[in-house]
Amino acid sequence: MLLQLNNIFKWVQSGGSRIFLLKDINLTIEEGEFISIMGPSGSGKTTLLNVIGMLDDFNEGEYTFLDESVHTLKEKYRINLYKQYIGFVFQAYHLMDELTVYENIEMPLLFKKYKTAERKALVADILDRFNIVGKKDLFPSQLSGGQQQLVGIARALISKPKLILADEPTGNLNSKQGEEIMELFKQLNDEGVTIVQVTHSEKNATYGSRIINLLDGRMTKN
């Protein structure tokens, strides 16, 4: 088991009442799964992904990640945990405009104790794998959306995470670029990386092995 959410509730206080963002989420994810989270806009998909990624906290319930009780961890330890095991891919890429492709991809390694030579080797490998060696000295604004997303995924993968969390990763791409990203996810999943993606696309969901449907913050039966 990679992670488990038990009876997770998340709410925000508004005047005298609670607005629930997540209601009674119970979810177990095994290593090697490829899961798609679906549901209408505002149903809590991003919130759930952020809870799984430890970027958002929650008000009630228990979260276990690789035998660690996330809900009881001190912040510093929690940050170390997700930096070590989780890679994030966002719809809007979130690349640093003033850094080159190379520097963007190298970034997560700077937070860890990699030596310069190790960093160089890792970045070179991933540039090669993603066929973007020729782009390494360009800035994000000089790339197409599809290429920027490839760089975003390369950056998410550089520190070899066990889990990739992707929030509508093809949302800004044309269908061919989107398919390439999905094929890449499938390949990574075949290599053992666990993937949880938020998607609106039935077609993208078919790349995964399981669908979680959300409605008003609650998981609905399939």
Taking CB under 6 A as the rule, does residue 101 contact ligand ADP?
no
Which listed residue (8, 21, 86, 105) binds ligand ADP by CB under 6 A? 21
Residues from 138 through 197 that contact ligand ADP (CB under 6 A): none
Strand-pair partners of 69: 64
Taking CB under 6 A as the rule, does residue 46 contact ligand ADP?
yes
Taking CB under 5 A as the rule, does residue 46 contact Mg ion?
yes
- Choose the stretch contacting Mg ion; rule: CB under 5 A; options: 43-51, 60-68, 75-83, 183-191: 43-51
Name the binder of 44 from Mg ion, ligand ADP, none, CB < 5-8 A by kind.
Answer: ligand ADP
Taking CB under 5 A as the rule, does residue 204 contact Mg ion?
no
Taking CB under 6 A as the rule, does residue 41 contact ligand ADP?
yes
Taking CB under 6 A as the rule, does residue 12 contact ligand ADP?
yes
Which listed residue (2, 8, 38, 47) binds ligand ADP by CB under 6 A? 47
